[in-house]
Chain A
């Protein structure tokens, strides 16, 4: 419906190997082989968005370059996306450019956060996304390539190149590709998008500036409350940013379906889960003092920092703990600490 001249640079390259070497040499790659973004493929990808090629989706720091439908489509092709993934990627880029996400800090920090893309709603099934076994892991094209395309946009448009723009001390494998789907069918509570005010029949993406997931293994507990104690314990290692950045961002708990089912069967609503974790996921002043990021950030007034036994939560309020269900059978869940000075952002996926 839109007919535009494309503005991307045109290259004439010999063959597949020439493409790989040229893209690597120009710093346009994550190091893995890419799909050559030919004009035909890019045009088809743009068309699949239903948007004009020149439409600006946001400004991506630290280069502060405009993410357009065209340059996002180029990266989607390079990552190996199927055309029908494009609306998800568009919404994810828009969400990441929301000021609340604080993408400049997220991109440039020495912290190893990646950008987790959580997809929720009917589009999960439509795209064949994996919300079950190994949702964080490899094996499914949609999860793998949407997450990768997001990273390529952050690098190639935003200029977050390791050592230049992206100052991550060590980084994380989550920065290659980091995309999961909410498992609606296995969730005992309404899906996250509904809790955030969207309709069940709408699809959403949520971006979270998270570390790679920290495993919560609980094979023993037979009560929801005790499982939540294990989750809370995993949330209170002092070496993540959230132990020190309180009230300035959110964290994410991804419950495996079996843990979630036990917790819900014992009468916990999602709000109860958040409240429980807010009250129990707390470090003690004696463990924090002069360690980690002690006093690098303001602490809430009500914490007596001179009292060794005083408790320090990892967020400012229960609502700052995102809770969702994903994964397959088994007794594992995940806690995702975040950059700490960032809020997750959810956007509706609009298909043409």
Chain B
């Protein structure tokens, strides 16, 4: 049973009192929470069936009922419009391809990130323009936080008990943003992944850090792609898959970078160029790491000359995010493996 079910907050309980209790009960993330009074939870549910099970989440095989999601959403500061987005994200997390059991319990420092696509971003006030990865917009801040609280309070990924992350990372507090779709020369990511561009949707992904990519000098797309590719060669992101950054790297391109690239490259061509260029020669690896990698190859398989960032071009995920400037961001996935998952949002 989740301790969430035992919450019986009433209007008479003071803000400080509720916050102390939530934190001491291990239901908080350390930041102040909104007291989940019955009125707030009812408003969050907006008439939906609180007992409806959206998904069952590892590691504790916790049933993500709408009531539990609503409680986390209230605690995080969400508005009622955010609940369907949160529910879609939870559904996506439960897809076996995402490997939530691994992501949520690893000693790795990975966080779960959330991209809100299409009409969902507008409805839910999720910013995809300037400072989209930073603070300011309520949707970004509270939806990402609610998802973090779901991992802790519903999935049962409790730091130190089941979430064994050696260092953690700030993105585990909150990590949610939208695409800057009007500024994308290639349309939206969810459309590239098979949904209608007019469909409200979310994508969840594992994020083992964020790396800024600065290139204000290149005057063509090939140059920007070279800078991006060379920025993705972190030896420490090499995992059991034999690929860098979990094999499904996410590149968040600033609109100006994307515009330069799009003069000469389609989305598919940009993905192929990145995959071709982003190769870490094996001789650059520490000897023991190299030996470990080679020992893990299937019997008879030829030794590769370099480690790649993905197995195929379409696994290089590109999204256009941000405002003015030539600063992009590389997000390596969890080195243990797992894939980004996209799901539609049902606002009805």
Could you tell me which A residues sit within 8 Å of B by CB distance? 1-4, 50-55, 350, 352
Q: Is the CB of B20 within 8 A of A52?
A: no
Residues from chain A with a CB closer than 8 A to the CB of B24 are 50-51, 350, 352
Q: Other CB < 8 Å A-B pairs besides A1-B8, A1-B13, A53-B6, 9 of them?
A: A1-B7, A1-B9, A3-B7, A54-B6, A55-B3, A55-B26, A350-B20, A350-B24, A352-B24
A-B contacts, 12 of them at CB < 8 A, read A1-B17, A1-B21, A2-B21, A3-B7, A50-B20, A50-B21, A51-B24, A51-B25, A52-B25, A54-B1, A352-B20, A352-B24
Residues from chain B with a CB closer than 8 A to the CB of A352 are 17, 20-21, 24
Q: Closest residue of chain A to B3, judged by CB? A: A52
How many chain B residues sit at the interface, stated as a range, is: 10 to 19
How many A-B contacts are there with CB distance less than 8 Å?
A: 40
B149 in the interface (beta carbon within 8 A): no
CB distance from A123 to the nearest CB of B (A): 16
CB distance from B15 to the nearest CB of A (A): 12
Q: Which of B1-23 contact A (CB under 8 A)?
A: 1, 3, 6-10, 13, 17-18, 20-21
Could you tell me which B residues sit within 8 Å of A by CB distance? 1, 3, 6-10, 13, 17-18, 20-21, 24-26
Q: Is the CB of B20 within 8 A of A2?
A: no
CB distance from B226 to the nearest CB of A (A): 51
Residues from chain A with a CB closer than 8 A to the CB of B21 are 1-2, 50-51, 352
Q: Closest residue of chain A to B22, judged by CB? A: A1
Tell me, in angstroms, the Cα distance from A1 to B72 when the chains sit together. 16
Q: Is the CB of A1 within 8 A of B18?
A: yes
Residues from chain A with a CB closer than 8 A to the CB of B17 are 1, 352
Residues from chain A with a CB closer than 8 A to the CB of B18 are 1
Residues from chain B with a CB closer than 8 A to the CB of A1 are 7-10, 13, 17-18, 21
Q: Is the CB of B25 within 8 A of A55?
A: yes
Tell me, in angstroms, the Cα distance from A350 to B19 when the chains sit together. 13
Tell me, in angstroms, the Cα distance from A150 to B284 when the chains sit together. 58
CB distance from B27 to the nearest CB of A (A): 9
Q: Closest residue of chain A to B13, judged by CB? A: A1
CB distance from A4 to the nearest CB of B (A): 4
CB distance from A77 to the nearest CB of B (A): 20
CB distance from B60 to the nearest CB of A (A): 13
Residues from chain A with a CB closer than 8 A to the CB of B8 are 1-3
Tell me, in angstroms, the Cα distance from A352 to B14 when the chains sit together. 12
- Shortest Cβ-Cβ A-B pairs, 3 listed: A3-B8, A2-B6, A4-B6
Residues from chain A with a CB closer than 8 A to the CB of B13 are 1
CB distance from A164 to the nearest CB of B (A): 29
CB distance from A221 to the nearest CB of B (A): 47
Tell me, in angstroms, the Cα distance from A55 to B26 when the chains sit together. 9
Residues from chain B with a CB closer than 8 A to the CB of A54 are 1, 3, 6
Residues from chain A with a CB closer than 8 A to the CB of B3 are 2, 52, 54-55
Q: Closest residue of chain A to B27, judged by CB? A: A52
Residues from chain A with a CB closer than 8 A to the CB of B1 are 54
CB distance from A100 to the nearest CB of B (A): 15
Q: Closest residue of chain B to A53, judged by CB? A: B6
CB distance from B158 to the nearest CB of A (A): 10
Tell me, in angstroms, the Cα distance from A350 to B21 when the chains sit together. 10
Residues from chain B with a CB closer than 8 A to the CB of A51 are 21, 24-25
Q: Closest residue of chain B to A2, judged by CB? A: B6
Q: Closest residue of chain A to B9, judged by CB? A: A1
Q: Closest residue of chain A to B8, judged by CB? A: A3
Q: Closest residue of chain A to B1, judged by CB? A: A54
Residues from chain B with a CB closer than 8 A to the CB of A53 are 6
Residues from chain A with a CB closer than 8 A to the CB of B7 are 1-3
Residues from chain B with a CB closer than 8 A to the CB of A4 are 6
Tell me, in angstroms, the Cα distance from A352 to B24 when the chains sit together. 9
Tell me, in angstroms, the Cα distance from A4 to B1 when the chains sit together. 11
Tell me, in angstroms, the Cα distance from A55 to B25 when the chains sit together. 7
CB distance from A264 to the nearest CB of B (A): 37
Q: Closest residue of chain A to B18, judged by CB? A: A1
Tell me, in angstroms, the Cα distance from A2 to B36 when the chains sit together. 12
Residues from chain B with a CB closer than 8 A to the CB of A350 are 20, 24
Tell me, in angstroms, the Cα distance from A52 to B7 when the chains sit together. 8
Tell me, in angstroms, the Cα distance from A55 to B20 when the chains sit together. 15
CB distance from A51 to the nearest CB of B (A): 6
Q: Closest residue of chain A to B26, judged by CB? A: A55
CB distance from B25 to the nearest CB of A (A): 5
